[in-house]
Structure 1
């Protein structure tokens, strides 16, 4: 207590706060504390506005998905609009909040400094404006939606979020890619319409091709009856190639978007099991050792 009293002391008569050998006017201290408190309140209000706004947007999206009204949006469209609204809300709150803080802190800022800052912000905002404009085109043209599997440049993945400035893409290794909307020029959407199923199976040259095709088609018939994600029933289209070890038979069909890979894996397994049960050989590398006996 004695140490603190020697470090800090207040002279109320002269309105001075002494810290060691330094003296600070109490009025200045009050102004600083008032400004800090005001800034904290503004930041808290920004956080509160975003939190409440996001909650209302989530409720709106949920109502759209669950509603049976004629003019409601489907789940993908509702989620996409929800993400965009959250992005607009976030940037709007940030803009007004930061503007309020800067205006409060630099109320006496000179016109020259403000002009220089305005020019600098103008140059920096060019890419931001480009991102915003392209983001609105992506939304209104419905180029892709949240949950779609797309290709942008050399990046592939599922769209996790669409904002007015960036698109967030998660690839199948789990990596997150943040792509500025202004840089997106060509997009391949792999989630619109039915997706192709393609399975190639090889049989040995010694096997009867027609018999193998009948067996595979029978597997496809049974498999299609038990899978609601299949649109066009898989069937054999014929022999597509001759390899060093066997004959390649191709199966094709179509399925709902994003289900084709699971269907191909499962169908490949079922065909393999049936070929094994029918004794139809699937070729694999073999090593044959021939031993000769020399006559003496």
Structure 2
């Protein structure tokens, strides 16, 4: 027998039983900590979007990576917990044999945990959303930052992380599929020729789509007059771009339309204030 093992056995024999149990529990925790670190590195290496080619998209690979991490974590928690209970003298074998793993979980009041895990599998199987998608779930809107077996983490555009149990997800709105709409309105003065205005809008939209073609799915165009308000005629514009590209595209298109309106002399109405003041017994007016 190895001399080191003999010496270790002798040293453990001289320790109190409680100290030996504590040492074994510490070793179990250390071993599973190392396994957790190595397992995460292995998962990251195997489920790397740059290494995987074929039918899986990057967002799908990232989702599977998050689920694999979650599965590894809970497996380590369960196995390590059982081993620690055994060191403490708890008869885990008889408990598991008598009730089964699922029965044990339900017996400890973990019905919600089981529901969260099952719902997580269905979300993945049905491809309702994936990591990187912009969604609304349980009243929270943001990007899917992480998806695990039990919880989904949503990051809002202001940076907050919302942690939602999968079992609470009953309705999902996914904005990252098919395309995102470029939809906004512009108002021009009643004195303007509306046919000319619509022509200028369509020309500007077409020119921008030619200069920035990558995100465009359906070229934006003027749909027509949608309102005759107090300040002028309102024209609605609609187009379709790649998912989540609509915010930046809309901002740029608005800026170009304003510049083009100014160039050709189309007035964008805005509130004016006229102040009347008396000067030497008479009245004069200044418009602001």
TM-score for the superposition, normalised by structure 1: 0.81
Q: Does structure 1 residue 198 correspond to structure 2 residue 191?
A: no
Structural RMSD (CA):
2.6
For 1:91, the equivalent position in structure 2 comes to 74
SS at match of 1:159: strand
Following superposition, the deviation at residue 186 of structure 1 comes to 1.2
Runs of 5+ in structure 1 lacking a partner? 1-25
For 1:139, the equivalent position in structure 2 comes to 124
Q: Deviations 1:12-67 (Å, cap 9, x if unpaired)?
A: xxxxxxxxxxxxxx9785433322222222111121111111111111221x5444
For 1:14, the equivalent position in structure 2 comes to none
For 2:112, the equivalent position in structure 1 comes to 127
Q: Distance in 1 between matches of 2:176 and 2:91?
A: 55
For 2:142, the equivalent position in structure 1 comes to 157
Contact in 2 for aligned 1:65/1:73 (Cα 8 Å): no
**Cα 1:290/1:201, change in 2 over 3 Å:** same
SS at match of 2:47: helix
For 1:102, the equivalent position in structure 2 comes to 85
Contact in 2 for aligned 1:65/1:74 (Cα 8 Å): no
Contact in 1 for aligned 2:116/2:149 (Cα 8 Å): yes
Write out the 4+ residue segments of structure 1 that deviate beyond 4 Å after TM superposition.
Answer: 26-29, 118-121, 290-294
For 1:209, the equivalent position in structure 2 comes to 194
Q: Select the structure of larger CA radius of gyration.
A: 1
**Cα 1:193/1:267, change in 2 over 3 Å:** same
SS at match of 1:124: coil
**Number of residues of Structure 1 aligned to a counterpart in Structure 2:** 262
Q: Distance in 1 between matches of 2:35 and 2:105?
A: 29
Runs of 5+ in structure 2 lacking a partner? 1-11, 283-288
Q: Distance in 2 between matches of 1:290 and 1:243?
A: 27
